[in-house]
Amino acid sequence: MSTERFDTYGFSASDLEEAHRFVEARLGLNLRQRDSSYRGVYYALRLPDDSGIQLYANEGDSHVWKYAGYGVLLELSRLADMDSLRDRLLLAPSPAILLNSRNIEVPDEDEDETCGPP
Tell me the per-residue pLDDT of 15-63, one tens digit each, with 9 for 90 and over.
999 999 999 999 999 999 999 888 889 999 988 887 889 999 998 766 7
pLDDT of 118 over the 60 cut: no
The domains found in the chain, sorted by start residue, are 2-102 (3.30.160)
pLDDT of 72 over the 60 cut: yes
Tell me the per-residue pLDDT of 100-117, one tens digit each, with 9 for 90 and over.
999 988 887 765 555 545
* Mean pLDDT of the residues in the chain: 88
Pairing of strands 72-77, 96-106: unpaired
pLDDT of 80 over the 90 cut: no
* Chain Cα centroid distance, residue 103: 13
